[in-house]
Structures are given as structure tokens and as C-alpha cells.
Amino acid sequence: MFEGKAEEAINFYVSLFPGAHIHAVEKYLAGQPGPAGTVKLARFTIAGQTVLATDSPIHHAFTFTPALSLFVECTSDNEINRFYETLLAGGAALMPLGAYGFSTKFAWINDRFGVSWQLNLP
């Protein structure tokens, strides 16, 4: 649940992950609860997982938290490095990219939208 940045985030994610695509985006119209043109409901697939997103028409005192993160299994060193650098830009590393014993290479980050990601290279 975003507050006005759902479409920007969706386009960013779909541009980053190979094979990602948008299934549908329904936007608020004039006179509906949300600002016209913001995302009422979107469905897209990234890294083989279908995700829903919306722009909340109501301001709320919470945002995304690392309590829920998107977990992506990477297939190469180049891929995990690219995902890490791109998702980290404007965000924050919770666990910087490195070897943690349970994985060859792993990172846990919050992107610039506040969405939490775990990237893993087995």
C-alpha cells in the first residue's frame, strides 16, 4: 500500500526484473475515494511472484516494514549485484551484500519506496 507512488514503484520493479510484467492497473477516477489517476489496484509479476499494489486514499501513520519482504533467488553474481545496487539506490541496507554462512551471497534492503527485499544467491 503506497501513498501516491504505486505506479512509479511498479514501473521501476518491472523494468528491473527480467520477465516481469504488469497484468492490470485500475486507477481512481474523479469522484472516487482516491485522487484521480492514482492506483486503485494493480497486479504485476516480478521474479515469478504475483504482487498487488494500491495507492491508499487515506493517509496513515504506518508504511512498509521489514516484517514482510520480497525474497528473490538470484541466478548469478552479476544478477544479485545489479539487483542490489539498483534497489539500494535511495534506500537502506539492513544486511549489506555479503556471505552470511547460510548463503553464498545475501542482502536485505529497503528500497527507496520503503519496500523490503531479500536477495539470495544460493
Contacts of 82 (CB under 8 A, 6+ apart): none
Task: Answer whether residue 62 is part of any domain.
Answer: no
Tens of pLDDT, residues 94-113: 999 999 999 999 999 999 99
Task: Answer whether residue 61 is part of any domain.
Answer: no
The Cα 95–Cα 60 span in angstroms is: 27
* Residue numbers of the domain that contains 98: 69-121
Task: Answer whether residue 10 is part of any domain.
Answer: yes
Q: What is the pLDDT of residue 89?
A: 98
Task: Answer whether residue 116 is part of any domain.
Answer: yes
Number of compact structural domains in the chain: 2
The helix (run of H) or strand (run of E) holding residue 80 is helix 77-88
Task: Answer whether residue 47 is part of any domain.
Answer: yes
Are 112 and 73 part of one and the same domain? yes
Are 110 and 76 part of one and the same domain? yes
Q: What is the pLDDT of residue 47?
A: 86
